[in-house]
């Protein structure tokens, strides 16, 4: 029931300070809408009783808006306790009760300027050793500053309990030799107890958390340390940019895609476009094994492969970044140029008996813009038998107030699904011109899909998201993604416990509003026990396109229910062997069994 304009709206809920989202002069808070929110116009934010700001709608460049659900409270005093309150207000200006959270700002940090260690911001000098020496000198709770200028570097290795502020440009060297080789994104794959097929090696990233030298000054005695679990409390912030290479050009092996100059060089150094050379390309940031990560306000571009690869980590905040892997001259963007990959979760060790000390992922991704050559926001939970054994699900992710442009998918779960996903909340995002808005993808040998749900857990909830000019599907739930090269998981990958409510917007004339499918993508491909189930979609209104195709989905109407799904064009088909008309309420066009 909605309150009247003369009554106070309900208060926001679950107000929190995301992981590490506070420093000496600011605190970021985020919240969720209450159960009834149609009368909420915006939110007022108070610090120790003083109004600090007001938010209402985020207006994206396309003119589409989302209700803003976060605020960065600035102008604060170091080492000071604050009580931050958020109150909803309605069109009459009447406020709700307060949601309140407490947080103390950090002390003013000691600042290490990289220029004090000999770094030169001329865009030509190779500054790897100078910047690394500055990093190594960072005291606990200190800050490393890359000031204005363009600072070229090879692979850098971050230190725990430090802030890295990039106000200029950190530019990646184009030379493959400036990046150590042997970084393994999934280091246990192919080792004892985890199968016999090794995950391909690749170059270290421009910014890394795993790996070190026994002699930093000489930069000798490199140790890959791909299973490191000691990094903690790392902030990467600033008003500047991280640029992976000097430029990009067409990838002759993948028509329409581009590679950066560095990626071309790395691939050539490892054998070319083959099973060794192509996977050798580095990520732009390889942030692995971290307990406590905050990345905010920076621009990232021209990655050799993925942009931000965050693996085996927990307590993560990604806020207000711009991740662009779509060169303007490209028709498909940078090959494999995902915006962010959030992979598995932190554990003190991984054994063939399962993880030790496993933490929930607890990740927050918000306020960011993604324009990418592959998936924009991708969650993956390991693949096939090794991923099943590792058993590190992606558990607890809040994705809200983001804007995606080019990309294969806006928010994507999979295709690495072995350990499963749970407690994934996707709220108030806009997918504009993206191929697919919400993309759930797995394969027959990949396993998992949704992790085991305990009391209080849910699978995936998507609420109040918007799509515009989607080129393929607003939503897809599929198990027809190509199998991996690793040994089969014990059971096929499938999805269940997905709720999508209040999705509106448009798709292209050749695109589907929603498509669900099995291994063959048709109505007759269902394998008993391999169907998706417990899907609840409601209030989905899509303009144009080819309508709805609901295959390879089963369940009684009590658990699998599609309510008020409408499309202005196309048809609505479903598998009559798996569903009945009772599974559909208020849908248009009229659902027809096939």
Mean pLDDT, residues 556-566 taken together:
98
Tokens of 438: 């919400």
Strand ranges (E), 94-231: 99-104, 111-113, 122-126, 142-146, 150-153, 156-157, 162-166, 169-172, 181-183, 202-203, 207-208, 212-215, 220-223
13-104: CATH homologous superfamily?
Answer: Immunoglobulins (2.60.40.10)
Mean pLDDT, residues 185-211 taken together:
95
**Helix or strand or coil: residue 394?**
strand
Question: Any idea of the CA torsion for 279, 283, 287, 289, to the nearest 10 degrees?
Answer: 10
Tokens of 270: 């490892």
Share of the chain above pLDDT 90, in %: 94
> Cα–Cα distance between 336 and 284 in angstroms, integer?
12
Q: Are strands 212-215 and 220-223 parallel, antiparallel or unpaired?
A: antiparallel
Mean pLDDT, residues 167-185 taken together:
95
pLDDT at residue 3, as a whole number: 47
| Helix (H) / strand (E) containing 389 | helix 384-390
Mean pLDDT, residues 208-224 taken together:
95
pLDDT-derived band at 522 (thresholds 50, 70, 90) equals low
pLDDT at residue 38, as a whole number: 96
**Stretch(es) of the chain classified as CATH 2.160.20.10:** 109-374, 383-393+409-451+459-594
Separation of CA 442 from chain center: 17
Lowest mean pLDDT among 180-184, 311-315, 381-385, 446-450: 180-184
DSSP code at position 360? -
Q: Which CATH number is 109-374 given?
A: 2.160.20.10
| Helix (H) / strand (E) containing 324 | strand 322-324
Tokens of 354: 């399962």
The pLDDT tens digits for 430-440 are 999 999 999 99
pLDDT at residue 527, as a whole number: 64
383-393+409-451+459-594: CATH homologous superfamily?
Answer: Single-stranded right-handed beta-helix, Pectin lyase-like (2.160.20.10)
Provide the residue count of the chain.
594
The chain-wide mean pLDDT, for the chain, equals 96
pLDDT-derived band at 448 (thresholds 50, 70, 90) equals very high
> Which among 431, 513, 474 is positioned nearest to 66, based on CA atoms?
431
In degrees, rounded to 5, the angle at the alpha carbon of residue 390 between the alpha carbons of residues 389 and 392 is 125
**Stretch(es) of the chain classified as CATH 2.60.40.10:** 13-104
Q: Phi, psi at residue 433, to the nearest 5°?
A: 80, 5
pLDDT at residue 2, as a whole number: 46
User: In 10 A of CB 217, how many CB atoms?
Assistant: 10
């Amino acid at each position: 029931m909605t309150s009247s304009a003369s009554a106070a709206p309900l208060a926001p809920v679950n107000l929190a300070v995301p992981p590490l989202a506070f420093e000496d002069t600011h605190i970021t808070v985020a919240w969720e809408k209450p159960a009834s929110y149609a009368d909420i116009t915006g939110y007022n934010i108070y610090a120790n009783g003083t109004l600090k700001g007001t938010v209402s709608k985020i207006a994206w460049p396309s003119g589409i808006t989302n209700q803003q659900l976060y605020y960065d409270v600035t102008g604060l005093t170091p080492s000071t306790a604050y009580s931050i309150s958020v109150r909803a207000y309605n069109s009459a200006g009447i406020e709700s009760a307060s949601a309140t959270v407490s947080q103390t700002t950090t002390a003013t940090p000691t600042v290490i300027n990289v220029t004090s260690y000999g770094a030169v911001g001329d865009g030509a000098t190779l500054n790897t050793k100078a910047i690394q020496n500055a990093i190594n000198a960072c005291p606990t709770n200190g800050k490393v500053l890359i000031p204005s200028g363009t600072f070229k570097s090879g692979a850098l290795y971050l230190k725990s309990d430090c802030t890295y502020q990039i106000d200029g440009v950190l530019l990646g060297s184009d030379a493959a030799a400036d990046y150590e080789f042997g970084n393994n994104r999934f280091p246990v794959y192919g080792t004892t107890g985890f199968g016999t097929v090794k995950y391909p090696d690749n170059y270290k990233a421009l910014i890394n958390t795993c790996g070190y030298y026994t002699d930093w000054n000489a930069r000798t005695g490199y140790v890959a340390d791909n299973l490191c679990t000691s990094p903690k409390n790392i902030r990467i912030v600033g008003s500047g940019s991280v640029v992976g290479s000097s430029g990009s050009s067409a990838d002759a092996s993948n028509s329409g895609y581009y590679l950066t100059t560095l990626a071309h060089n790395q691939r050539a150094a490892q054998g070319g476009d083959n099973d060794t050379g192509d996977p050798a390309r580095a990520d732009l940031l390889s942030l692995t094994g971290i307990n406590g990560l905050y990345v905010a306000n920076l621009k990232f571009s021209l990655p050799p492969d993925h942009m931000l690869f965050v693996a085996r980590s927990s307590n993560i905040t990604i806020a207000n970044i711009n991740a662009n892997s779509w060169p303007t001259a490209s028709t498909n963007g940078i090959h494999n140029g995902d915006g962010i990959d959030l992979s598995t979760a932190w554990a003190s060790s991984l054994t063939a008996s399962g993880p030790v000390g496993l933490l929930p992922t607890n990740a927050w991704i918000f306020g960011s813009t993604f324009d990418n050559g592959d998936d924009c926001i991708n969650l993956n939970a390991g693949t096939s038998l090794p991923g099943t054994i590792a058993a590190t699900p992606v558990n607890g992710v809040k994705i809200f107030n983001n804007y995606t442009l080019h990309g294969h998918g806006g928010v994507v779960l999979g295709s690495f699904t072995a350990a499963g996903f749970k407690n994934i909340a996707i709220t108030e995002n806009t997918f504009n011109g993206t191929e697919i808005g919400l993309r759930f993808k797995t394969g027959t040998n990949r396993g998992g899909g949704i992790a085991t749900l305990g009391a209080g857990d849910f699978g995936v909830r998507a609420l109040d998201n918007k799509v515009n000019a989607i080129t393929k599907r607003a939503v897809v739930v599929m198990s027809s993604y190509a199998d991996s090269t690793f040994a089969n998981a014990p059971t096929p990958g499938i999805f269940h416990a997905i709720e999508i409510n209040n999705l509106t917007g448009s798709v292209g004339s050749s695109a589907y509003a929603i498509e669900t499918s099995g291994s063959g993508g048709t109505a007759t491909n269902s394998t008993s026990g391999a169907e998706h189930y417990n899907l609840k979609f409601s209030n989905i209104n899509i303009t144009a396109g080819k309508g709805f195709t609901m295959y390879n989905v089963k369940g009684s109407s009590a658990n699998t229910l599609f309510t008020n799904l409408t499309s202005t064009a196309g048809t609505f088909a479903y598998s009559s062997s798996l569903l009945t008309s009772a599974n559909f309420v208020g849908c248009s066009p009229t659902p027809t069994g096939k």
